[in-house]
Amino acid sequence: MNPLIESFQTPFQTFPFDKVKSHQFKPAIEHWIEISRERIKSIRDNEENATFSNTVEALDYCQEELNRIASAFFNLNSAETNDELQSLAQEISPMLSAFGNDIVLDEKLYARIMSVSDVPKTNEAIMLMEKTRLAFERNGADLNDGEKKQLREIDQELGRLSLTFAENVLRDTNEYSFFIEDKEELAGLPDYVIDRAADAAKAHEQDGKWMFSLRPDSYLEFMKYSAVRKHRETMYRAFILRGKMQDDKSNIPVIERLVELRRKRALLLGYTSHAHYVLQERMAKTPSTVLDFLDTLKEHALPVAIEDLQKLQTFAKKTDDIDELQSWDIAYYSEKLKKAELNVDDEALKPYLALPNVVEGIFDIAHRLFGINFSKRSDIPVYHDEVETYDVTDNDGKHLAVFYMDLFPRDGKRGGAWMTAYRGQWVKDGTDHRPHISIVCNFNRPTKDRPAMLTFQELTTFFHEFGHALHGMLAKGTYPSLSGTNVYWDFVELPSQLMENWCYEKEALDIFARHIDTNERIPEDMISNIRKQRVFLEGYATIRQLSFGYLDMAWHSLEKDETIPSIDKLEANATGDIRLLPEVDESTISTAFNHIFHGAYSAGYYSYKWSEMLEVQAFKLFEANGLFDNETASNYKELLEAGGSVHPAKLFRIFTGDDLNPNALLDRLKR
């Protein structure tokens, strides 16, 4: 019996990871596609007049089981993948794409939706009607039969290519190993990094050596601390080859085909470019608005970035007689300069950021802000024994959510950090179906005798993803497609980036930042230096972030008759005027740019800076009223609960009392 076809007999109907085998996903998805298809057919063929309830609402609810199984499958393919899952993904993705096309290309169903005239005068109902209409129009409902066939073919190929792109990056990341045999060449590396590298080498039957990889926990620490410049160069040159290490599995042709198909699809649907298509449902609205926004930031950030780099160059020259900084020097000398100038030492800070204390602290902060509580559970099935689970309740003991945490790197887990949902939130027939939310990270592992201790960057990453998780856990919507993080993409990063602010505030740090050996609170001078760190080399960091945004827009703003340039040429044209370091042979960003070629950030990478603009304005309320001010937190909670039921510009205005203001973000460069 396939457990994915039965109702889940688990606490809170959580996903039965302990009972599921990889091969069971495909037949289960096929089963729920057919069930969903029958439900949609009954909606379409209903002989009663089309109403909002029997058509638009019914359509939004009809894929509950399919969405759950598919979400779990693709989440597993990111967090705990294997060859079988990757092969299945290449089969399942086209199936889901074809089914999605069947819905939005159904003329009779579209006509029924368009005949609905009794939409209730509520924000949610109006938004759902508009979102449903656009979903059909933006995905081919008005095309002729030949064009619909073409669209189906494009969508299926796009799904396969996106998976291939991510698989190529993951393979190149996991397969690369760099061994050091001479202990003297470990200079600068902290003991915990050295110990972990020795364990990694032993696991690869290379006793007496030290192994480093391109996985985030290994690569980032190596680049930050290794004093051996030639080794940093070796690692950097390997890192920039991800996605193209093997000619027969290179992402270069994958990107070219992806970009061409996205453009072709946009043109077919009547849009000027893929960026025009994407931005129709964003706060920014048009490519010109995005580029104007990026240009405004560039104008102010570039002079500051040049000063930052000159300062770093002077320091490197004085410290190690480095005449010209290279890309593999930036993390290393930034860390050393930060320690020298701000007296901020990540290694000295880490004992105050023991992961168990941070977890307890972030739960405490959430309790103070939103009145929610986290109780650890051992009876909820997980896909790996390192995953922790929690029952989230309000102060009255009412269940709000299930929360999963998967925090350490391993083979089969892609790099980076993300929040995801194994079940969304919705209300149907008076029952509030509560969400199952997960955050996945790649933090430094604990050692044999010490718990994991976070770098400050890892701390802000944790708070960032937890901000996303709160958006999901506190959801209070009616319709699945408008609940939680189902908001405009350039608004979705507001809760995550806003949450990072608590990492810099003494009142919050005092809750959890205690020395692992002495239990002493983090010293005030260290907190002061941490706050200074926030804008340390901020100009350079901003320009780096803008370069990704420009690159994304360059790929996705290509119009009808424009030739798709080579990767090297496009990257040079997109970022050449803000490239601050010497060019490195074979260096490309695009071939491992998962955000835009596998994730959902195509024509949307700008949204990180856009959301930062929103975050700066929003946090001013907490700065003015108090970090844990009840009224401010309550008002912010209402924004989180609303999800996508209200236009984000309106939600933002209700909470802050202001409209969007890029100058708020520019002020951060001046601090």
Question: Whole-angstrom Cα distance, residue 326 to residue 318?
Answer: 16
Cα dist from 486 to 50, 189, 618, whole Å: 26, 42, 20
* Inter-residue contact 170 to 82 (CB < 8 Å): no
Nearest-10 Cα torsion for 259, 265, 267, 268 = 160
Q: What is the pLDDT of residue 233?
A: 98
- How far does CA 541 lie from the centroid of its chain? 18
* Inter-residue contact 594 to 563 (CB < 8 Å): no
Whether the per-residue pLDDT at 191 is higher than 60: the answer is yes
End-to-end Cα distance, the chain: 62
Beta strands 436-440 and 399-406, pairing class:
parallel
Quickly state the pLDDT bin for 7 (edges 50, 70, 90): very high
Domain boundaries, given as residue ranges, for the chain: 11-142, 176-242, 351-535+608-670
Whether the per-residue pLDDT at 57 is higher than 80: the answer is yes
Q: What is the pLDDT of residue 261?
A: 97
Work out the average pLDDT over 281-300.
95
Quickly state the pLDDT bin for 414 (edges 50, 70, 90): confident
Q: Which residues contact 159 (CB under 8 A, 6 or more apart)?
A: 93, 94, 96, 97
Nearest-10 Cα torsion for 160, 165, 167, 170 = -160
The runs of H, that is alpha helices, within 321-406 are 330-342, 346-349, 355-370
* Inter-residue contact 28 to 93 (CB < 8 Å): no
Q: What is the pLDDT of residue 670?
A: 64
Read off the pLDDT of residues 88-109 as tens digits, 9 standing for 90 and up. Answer: 999 999 999 999 999 999 999 9
State the DSSP code for 13. G
Work out the average pLDDT over 520-542.
91
* Inter-residue contact 351 to 526 (CB < 8 Å): no
Read off the pLDDT of residues 16-31 as tens digits, 9 standing for 90 and up. Answer: 999 999 999 999 999 9
Q: What is the pLDDT of residue 326?
A: 98
Question: Whole-angstrom Cα distance, residue 284 to residue 606?
Answer: 10
Question: Whole-angstrom Cα distance, residue 15 to residue 189?
Answer: 41
Q: What is the pLDDT of residue 533?
A: 85
Query: What sign does the dihedral 344-348-351-354 (CA atoms) show?
Result: positive
Quickly state the pLDDT bin for 178 (edges 50, 70, 90): very high
Q: What is the pLDDT of residue 507?
A: 96
Work out the average pLDDT over 278-293.
96
SS (H, E, C) 410-446: CCCCCCCCEEEEEECCEEECCEEECCEEEEECCCCCC
User: What percentage of the chain exceeds 90 in pLDDT?
Assistant: 91
Question: Whole-angstrom Cα distance, residue 664 to residue 616?
Answer: 6
Work out the average pLDDT over 260-271.
97
Helix and strand element counts for the chain (H, E): 27, 9
Tokens of 434: 């509560």
List beta partners, residue 374.
392
Quickly state the pLDDT bin for 568 (edges 50, 70, 90): very high
- How far does CA 208 lie from the centroid of its chain? 38
Q: What is the pLDDT of residue 344?
A: 79
Question: Whole-angstrom Cα distance, residue 239 to residue 173?
Answer: 8
Instruction: Work out the mean pLDDT of the chain and round it to a whole number.
Output: 95
- 258 vs 660, more confident: 258
Quickly state the pLDDT bin for 346 (edges 50, 70, 90): confident
Domain range 11-142, CATH class: mainly alpha
Read off the pLDDT of residues 356-381 as tens digits, 9 standing for 90 and up. Answer: 999 999 999 999 999 999 999 999 99
Whether the per-residue pLDDT at 342 is higher than 60: the answer is yes
Whether the per-residue pLDDT at 440 is higher than 90: the answer is yes
Work out the average pLDDT over 632-660.
96
Work out the average pLDDT over 233-261.
95
- Read off the amino acid at residue 69: I
Report residue 422: phi and psi, to 5°.
-90, -20
Which region holds residue 351: left if phi is over 0, alpha if psi is between -120 and 50, else beta? alpha
Please give the CATH architecture assigned to the domain spanning 351-535+608-670: Orthogonal Bundle (1.10)
Q: Which residues contact 395 (CB under 8 A, 6 or more apart)?
A: 371, 372, 373
Work out the average pLDDT over 331-354.
91
Sheet of strand 418-423: strand arrangement: 372-377, 388-394, 399-406, 436-440, 418-423
Q: What is the pLDDT of residue 628?
A: 98
The runs of H, that is alpha helices, within 474-505 are 494-499
Q: Which residues contact 252 (CB under 8 A, 6 or more apart)?
A: 244, 567, 591
Whether the per-residue pLDDT at 671 is higher than 60: the answer is no
Work out the average pLDDT over 610-636.
96
Question: Whole-angstrom Cα distance, residue 431 to residue 424?
Answer: 14
